[in-house]
Structure formats: structure tokens, C-alpha cells
Amino acid sequence: MKQHIFLASPHMSEEGYEQDYIREAFETNWIAPLGKNVTEFEKEIEKKLGAGKAVALSSGTAAVHMALKAVGISQGDVVFCQSLTFSATANPIVYEKAVPVFIDSEQDTWNMDPKALEQAFEKYEKIGKKPKAVIVVHLYGICAKIEEIAEICNRYRVTLIEDAAESLGTTYHGKYTGTFGDYGIISFNGNKIITSSGGGMLLVNTKDAEERAAKVLYWATQAREPARWYQHTEIGYNYRMSNVVAGIGRGQLRVLQRRIEKKRYIFDYYRRRLGDLQGIQFMPQPKEGYCNCWLSVLEMSQECPVKPIDLMKALEEDDVESRPVWKPMHLQPVFDEYDFISQIEDLHIIDQETGADHSIAGQLFEYGVCMPSDTKMTDEDLERVCSVVKMLW
């Protein structure tokens, strides 16, 4: 019987590092709350990435939420947010009753278009609604034009939040993603390049990082005041990472580089075997960056003889998982009421069924396919996937 091939699944270290850290937590009864694994995991991330201060949290979504709280986002504030992303990037904006304005992608990086961002700043400055923050994403591990975007934010004196949930280990000009913005967020969810079984981290890179990280820690642990009894002057959250979870994360961090190398190998394999097929292109690899290749994504042009849906169906019949590119936020019914800024003027719908439109993000959604990128895949598995694909051409 053929084995199921996953898009991306948890892959614990071959050495069993994760269990060593967990065993230590059990032996010292530091199961919860906190404990050595949590603080060490934070220190290890800070050191590895060269980040200011790291705060371990229960999820990447919680990290986005805490970043927005740290910026002081509140009701009615405008936040510019990349449209092509997972909803977790945008949801916390609405938790705080702020107003997301979605920004289109560009073809070079598939991430936030700096020109559309400029356009958004000009439009919102004119109506007196300067945003309080910009959230950029490094989708699939591809680096955004982060220096250019940081420069624009700097010029307008607006806080930059970098959603590096999918790009742990990706660099831009040799510097890790997540460390360019005032805040960076990482996710250790089950499908990410390394996983703690679920969890996230907020990176604080501001000059007053120490102070801000302490404030986040306070909110994330129920906003308890330093008193003998439970005293509260602010609304708190239960967002802290547990010591057992952090143990898994620490073990995984030790094999991050190994996982990146395998992800890159998978991407190269697909490029080698499928690169010549008519109408296929692979996700961009900007020359300024080193990509963790979290998922290998291909883009099928309008002239491609095979439709994305037929490719996905053929893979599914062979028990192989694949998925469309993220459906952009500006096309999601839940975010219907919010503005969208794009360089494309004619945003007509190109697909009634999916609702995809002519924006860059809309087209990437319509024509993009995420290929199985599980680091447990063998060469035989990769070959099996490639032959299913090649048979369609």
C-alpha cells in the first residue's frame, strides 16, 4: 500500500533531543508554569537570530496580538496588513477593534508590494488616518523586500511588525527575518518548519526592548500586579508557553538547520524534475535572501495546459497532500468591509467559484499550488509526486 504524503508534518530530531528536555522538566517537576526550558528557549532564539528580547507564548497568533498591544493599537486605529497571508496575521487587529487595510503583493517576492504600501500611506495621510502599524509577512519562507519596507515605515514613523511565522531561518542580506521590524513573530505550530507541538514567540527589537518585553510578559500572564493577593489594573491574557512545550521547541531548534537544508533540497528536486513543464514557474528566490523553503510552491500560468485544481485532484487520488496558496484577506467574507490597496487598477473577478480577482495576491491564489514539502519525504516519495505531476502534461 502506498503511504500518505503530507504537505508538512512534525519531524522530531533523530537524536531525541526533545525528549531529553521534557524528561528534565518531569524530573524537576517543572511541568508548569514556566521553568528552565521556557527561559532557555527564549535565550537560544535571541542568540540564534540576533533578536532583541524574545517572549515565548502559546501561539504565533498570540504573538501578533501582543505586538499590537505593545504598539498601543486600540479601537479605530488603522493597521496596514499584507493581504496574501494566513488569517492569523490579521485576526488580532480585529480583536483590538482596529481597522485593517489590506495591501497587495508583488510578483518579485509574492509579499507586500512596497509601491502599494507607499500608495496606501499617501491615501491615508490625505484623509488624516495615518496607520499605527504595518504588518509584513515572509510567506512560505520567501523574504519580503524588508529593507525597502522598513525604510518606508521609518520615513512615516510607523511601527513595523514582521510576521516571520513561516520564515524561521530565512535571512535577508545575511540578517534573520523577524529582526528587521520593531517586532517580529515566530510560530511553532505543528506544520511549521520546526514545532513545539504548538506555540509562538514575540521578538522585541526596539531600543526599549527590555521594558516592552516585560510589559508583554505581564499581559501574557493574566496582568497580575506585584501584590500578595490577585490584583489587576489591566485586562490580562493566558498566553504564556508551558515548560513542556518549550522543551520540545528547544530540541527542535537544534535541528533547524538540518530541516532547512532538507526543505531546500525538496524545492531543488521539484525545480529539477518539473522546471521544464510548460506553463510552470516556481516561487521566487530573491537574490538578497536565503530561503528556508518552508513550502515548495509553484505557479501555473494562464497558458498552462493543466489547471491547478486538476493537479491537486491527481495528487489527492495518489494520497498526496497539496493545497492552494493562501486565499488573500481582502477576498475573505469576514474582512469584506475593509479597504484594499493595489497597483492593479482593474480588480475584476477572474474566477466566480473561488472569488479570485486580478490583484497580484488574487492571481497567486488562483494559480498557485503548494506542493508536499514534508521533511520526512524520501527520494522515492519525491519521485512518486513528480511522476503524478508529469503524467498530466
Ligand X SMILES: *Cc1c(COP(=O)(O)O)cnc(C)c1O
Return the C-alpha torsion angle 163, 169, 175, 180, nearest 10: 10
Q: Which stretch binds ligand X (CB under 6 A): 80-88, 168-176, 202-210, 299-307?
A: 80-88
Per CB under 6 A, 363 contacts ligand X: no
Fill in the per-residue mask, 187 to 206: x = in contact with ligand X (CB under 6 A), - = not in contact: x-x----------x------
82 near ligand X, rule: CB under 6 A: no
Scanning the structure block, which residue is given the C-alpha cell 495615518?
A: 130
Work out how close the CB of 132 gets to ligand X at its nearest, in angstroms, rounded to a whole number.
19
How many Cα atoms are found within 13 Å in the side-chain-facing hemisphere of 252? Answer: 27
CB of 326 to ligand X, least distance (A): 8
Q: Does 86 bind ligand X (CB under 6 A)?
A: yes
The one among 166, 182, 321, 357 contacting ligand X by CB under 6 A:
166
Place of cell 510578483: 107
Cβ at position 157, least distance to ligand X in Å? 25
Which range binds ligand X by CB under 6 A, 163-171, 243-251, 305-313, 344-352? 163-171
> Rounded to an integer, what distance in angstroms lies between the CA atom of residue 266 and that of residue 262?
6
Interaction residues for ligand X, span 113-152 (CB under 6 A): 137
Residues in binding contact with ligand X, number by CB under 6 A: 14
How far does Cα 272 stand from its chain's mean position?
26
Binding range to ligand X, per CB under 6 A, among 56-64, 122-130, 209-217, 357-365: 56-64
106 is a site residue for ligand X (CB under 6 A)? no
Interacting span for ligand X (CB under 6 A) from 82-90, 170-178, 211-219, 250-258: 82-90
Cell of 121: 500611506
Nearer to ligand X, 59 or 159 (CB): 59
Buried b (16+ CB within 10 A) or exposed e, 183-196: bbbbbbbebbbbbb
Determine which residue in the list 45, 78, 88, 101 makes contact with ligand X, applying CB under 6 A.
88
Q: Does 105 bind ligand X (CB under 6 A)?
A: no
For the segment 16-55, give every residue that binds ligand X (CB under 6 A). none
Q: Is 162 in the site for ligand X (CB under 6 A)?
A: no
CB of 171 to ligand X, least distance (A): 18
Taking CB under 6 A as the criterion, the residue among 59, 170, 322, 363 binding ligand X is 59
Go through the chain and tell me how many residues it has. 393
Kind of pairing, strands 368-371 and 296-300? antiparallel
Does position 324 bind ligand X by CB under 6 A? no
Q: Binding of ligand X at residue 89 (CB under 6 A)?
A: yes
Angstrom distance (rounded) from CA 10 to CA 196 = 9
The set of cell numbers assigned to 380 is 522515492
Burial 217-251 (b: 16+ CB within 10 A, else e): bbbbeeeeeeeeeeeeeeeebebbbbbbbbbbbbb
| Cβ nearer to ligand X, comparing 67 with 382 | 67
Q: What is the dihedral of CA 144, 147, 148, 149, to 10 degrees?
A: 60
Among 18, 42, 162, 163, binds ligand X (CB under 6 A): 163
To which H or E segment does residue 165 belong? Answer: none
Residue whose cell numbers read 499617501: 122
- Burial tier of 75 (Cβ tally within 10 Å: 0-12, 13-18, 19+): exposed
On whether the CB atoms of residues 80 and 135 are closer than 8 A, the answer is: yes
| Shortest CB 70 distance to ligand X, Å | 17
Q: Which of left, alpha, beta for 174 (phi over 0: left; psi -120 to 50: alpha)?
A: left
Instruction: Using CB under 6 A, list all residues that contact ligand X.
Output: 59-61, 85-86, 88-89, 137, 163, 165-166, 187, 189, 200
